[in-house]
Structure 1
Amino acid sequence: MLKTALFGRKKAAATPFAEFYSNWFQTLSGTLLPQLRCALSSTAAPPALLSIHVEAMHHHLQSYYEALDEAAAADVALCLCPEWRNALEKPFLWFGDLHPYLFTNLLRSFLDDQDSSDNDDDDDQEPPVAAAWRSPSKVLTMRVDQIECGLRLMAPALAARGRQAQGNLIRDVGAEWESKEGVRAALEAEMEELVGVVVDANRLRRSVLADVLSVTNVYQAALFLEAVAAFLVGFRDEALLHQFEDCERPINSFD
């Protein structure tokens, strides 16, 4: 009965969301990412055109987290153990999806890899896309520091809430084991808290993406979102997935 209560609740919601994610991923990998890359590869790369693709990619990512919120409300256990994720993706999951640290790490990689030389005579003739991350503004670097600082505060707090909810679930179910109604009440209370944790984790992911886009210019935003999308698509690379599955050394997921 406990297994059914924990993992069988509203099981019908599993297939629709798995199908949603498959369609969402196909749009990302087959349409939005190629279009963004095509726009970035243009010598001129008109800002107005890039802005359209940046907005489309951002909206697509946000739509996924909104759908994930709804899926969590229907069956949070399904989101915490998502069947639509493969073996390569699962070690990177944090309350149902990628840890927001991965977004800031990708952003930081652009800052760390920049060519900060101010004496390059060709800078003025360099295409805007190629020079997008050259000598970023102090406003941008300060905001990145603030985003990372906020994550260092909020991510551990959310993780603590999740651990507390799971601990309460084990304790309360054990205490009420002889009572069907008691077990049901314990499940409902802690599952509701876990739904809140997943929703708040999604809110944090959305916030990080929005904060990054609010302080980057259109060229920086386009390159950043291209990297995010490429990272997601890379998880589905068949050769890489096969190599991962053959790896004998275990990989730990985020706490």
Structure 2
Amino acid sequence: MSFHRFYASWFDHLNHLVHQLTLAPKPTTPQDNPALLQLVQKVISHYSQYYRAKSVAAQNDAVSLFAAPWSSSLERSLHWVAGWRPTIVFHLIYTETSARFESHIADILHGVRTGDLGDLSTAQLHRVSELQCETVREENEITRELAKWQEGAVELVEAGGDGNVEEKIGGLMSVLVKADELRMRTIWRVAEMLTPQQAVEFLIAAAELQFGVRVLGLNHDNQRENV
């Protein structure tokens, strides 16, 4: 199966998993909820499957993954190293936390715990902030590696058809693998910091952002084709 077909199948199943998340009943206790935890693990495993398949595809043709023909123009415009920028996770967390906090502020002021993303503890916020700083550092290092590879474009052209071309493309694959490992690690570590209910809400918000960008991008491309 080509990666293009794999992605279409994977994306459809992500929709199915997110539907399961949205139907999951709200837990009576914030911590102890094996059913929700199992759902969270299923979704994270699904993301892991995507990056494993992408890694295999990169070994065959890393350049095509940067072109990402299965993505819309809008999606490609938002890509960082052939995928989403890891630090966007933290902007998403802060946005969701702020929105939910404001919607439940009356309850919170009366000491009622909502248990959702608007109810992150001080310790959780501190851990999220620390991970954000760590992720920014790793993201910047990968960006520098990609820039260094791109600066060698002259050498790539001069190499022509000799064996050095494959070696230089291998360097691009190495950068891509590091970026995907950071993306997957960021999802996993953020989910670990949250309660099962909060992790469900985080994964739903992340997927809905992905769905929303894809729909907007496909609509935009269709409009351009019809002009």
Report if TM-score (shorter chain) is over 0.5: yes
CA–CA distance in structure 1, aligned partners of residues 157 and 12 of structure 2: 43
| 1:77 matches 2:63 | yes
Asked if the contact 2:75/2:213 (under 8 Å) is kept, the reply is yes
Which of 134, 142, 147 is the aligned partner of 1:150?
A: 134
Q: 1:208: which partner in 2?
A: 186
CA–CA distance in structure 2, aligned partners of residues 101 and 244 of structure 1: 27
CA–CA distance in structure 2, aligned partners of residues 176 and 218 of structure 1: 52
Q: 1:38: which partner in 2?
A: 23
Q: 1:104: which partner in 2?
A: 90
Asked if the contact 2:156/2:168 (under 8 Å) is kept, the reply is no
CA–CA distance in structure 1, aligned partners of residues 176 and 86 of structure 2: 13
Which of 165, 168, 172 is the aligned partner of 1:194?
A: 172
Q: 1:6: which partner in 2?
A: none
CA–CA distance in structure 1, aligned partners of residues 178 and 12 of structure 2: 26
| 1:24 matches 2:10 | yes
CA–CA distance in structure 2, aligned partners of residues 229 and 194 of structure 1: 27
SS, match of residue 235 in structure 1: helix
CA–CA distance in structure 1, aligned partners of residues 62 and 116 of structure 2: 40
User: CA RMSD, aligned part only?
Assistant: 2.4
Given residue 146 of structure 1, which amino acid in structure 2 is its aligned partner?
A: E
CA–CA distance in structure 2, aligned partners of residues 44 and 143 of structure 1: 25
Tell me which structure has the larger Cα radius of gyration: 1
CA–CA distance in structure 2, aligned partners of residues 52 and 241 of structure 1: 32
Output aligned runs, 1:240-251, within 5 Å.
Answer: 241-243=218-220
Q: Deviations over 1:126-180 (max 9, x none)?
A: xxxx541344212211111111101221112111111211221x22134445xx4
CA–CA distance in structure 1, aligned partners of residues 159 and 171 of structure 2: 19
CA–CA distance in structure 2, aligned partners of residues 192 and 135 of structure 1: 45
Asked if the contact 2:27/2:33 (under 8 Å) is kept, the reply is no
SS, match of residue 93 in structure 1: coil
Given residue 126 of structure 2, which amino acid in structure 1 is its aligned partner?
A: M
| 1:218 matches 2:196 | yes
Given residue 34 of structure 1, which amino acid in structure 2 is its aligned partner?
A: H
Q: Post-superposition shift, 1:49?
A: 2.0
Q: 2:154: which partner in 1?
A: 171
Q: 1:90: which partner in 2?
A: 76
CA–CA distance in structure 1, aligned partners of residues 185 and 85 of structure 2: 13
> Which aligned runs of 4 or more in structure 1 are off by greater than 3 angstroms?
42-46, 115-118, 173-177, 243-247
Q: For structure 2, list consecutive stretches of 5 or more residues without a partner in the other structure.
A: none
Q: Could you state the TM-score of these two structures normalised by the residue count of structure 2?
A: 0.86
Q: For structure 1, list consecutive stretches of 5 or more residues without a partner in the other structure.
A: 1-14, 125-129, 248-255
Q: Post-superposition shift, 1:88?
A: 2.3
CA–CA distance in structure 2, aligned partners of residues 176 and 70 of structure 1: 25
Given residue 230 of structure 1, which amino acid in structure 2 is its aligned partner?
A: E
CA–CA distance in structure 2, aligned partners of residues 107 and 244 of structure 1: 29
- Larger proportion of helix: 2
Q: Could you state the TM-score of these two structures normalised by the residue count of structure 1?
A: 0.77
CA–CA distance in structure 2, aligned partners of residues 244 and 108 of structure 1: 31
Task: Give the length in aligned residue pairs.
Answer: 218
Task: Name the % identity.
Answer: 22
> CA, structure 1 residues 174+138, in 2 after alignment: closer, same or farther (shift >3 Å)?
same
SS, match of residue 98 in structure 1: coil
Q: 2:122: which partner in 1?
A: 138
Q: Post-superposition shift, 1:120?
A: 2.2
